[in-house]
C-alpha cells in the first residue's frame, strides 16, 4: 500500500469535509426547488418525479453524512497516532486511503449526475 505524508492526508481530509458540507447545502437548495415544483404542480406524474428526486436527495444527504463521519474517524486515528509518537508530523507517512478517495469520487459523480437530472426536470416545471 502506498504511503503518504500525514500532512497531505490531512489536507485532503479537510478538502473532502468541505466538499461534503457544500453538497449538503446544495442538497437543501435542491430540496427547496422541488418543494416549489410540488406546490405548483398537482399532476400525478410530476408529483411522482418530485418524490423520486426527494428520495434520491435524502439518500445522498445520508451518504454525505456517512463520508464526513468516516473522514473524521480517519483524522482522529491519525491524530491519536501522532499524539503517541514523537515523530514530526511533517515527516510521518501513513497508509494512503485510496478506498476512501474512491468513495468520495463516486459520491461526487452520483451527486453531479443527480444535479443534472434535477436541473433538467426543474427547467420543465418551474
pTM of the model: 0.89
Q: Could you tell me which residues come within 8 angstroms of residue 3 by beta carbon, excluding any fewer than 6 positions away?
A: 93, 94, 95, 96
| Mean pLDDT (the chain, rounded) | 92
The number of distinct structural domains making up the chain is 1
Report the pLDDT value the prediction gives residue 86, as an integer from 0 to 100.
62
Tens-digit pLDDT profile for residues 50-65: 999 999 999 999 999 9
Residue span of the structural domain in which 106 resides: 3-125
Rounded CA-CA distance 98/81 in Å is: 19
Angstrom distance (rounded) from CA 75 to CA 81: 10
pLDDT digits (tens, 9 = 90+) for 71-115: 999 999 888 877 777 666 667 787 888 999 999 999 999 999 999
- pLDDT reported for residue 38: 93
Amino acid at each position: 500500500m502506498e504511503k503518504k505524508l500525514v500532512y497531505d492526508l490531512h489536507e485532503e481530509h479537510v478538502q473532502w469535509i468541505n466538499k461534503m458540507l457544500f453538497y449538503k447545502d446544495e442538497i437543501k437548495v435542491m430540496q427547496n426547488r422541488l418543494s416549489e415544483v410540488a406546490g405548483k404542480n398537482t399532476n400525478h406524474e410530476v408529483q411522482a418525479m418530485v418524490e423520486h428526486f426527494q428520495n434520491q436527495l435524502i439518500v445522498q444527504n445520508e451518504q454525505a453524512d456517512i463520508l464526513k463521519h468516516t473522514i473524521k474517524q480517519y483524522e482522529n486515528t491519525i491524530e491519536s497516532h501522532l499524539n503517541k509518537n514523537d515523530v514530526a508530523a511533517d515527516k510521518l507517512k501513513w497508509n494512503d486511503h485510496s478506498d476512501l478517495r474512491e468513495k468520495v469520487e463516486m459520491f461526487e459523480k452520483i451527486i453531479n449526475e443527480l444535479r443534472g437530472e434535477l436541473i433538467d426536470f426543474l427547467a420543465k416545471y418551474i
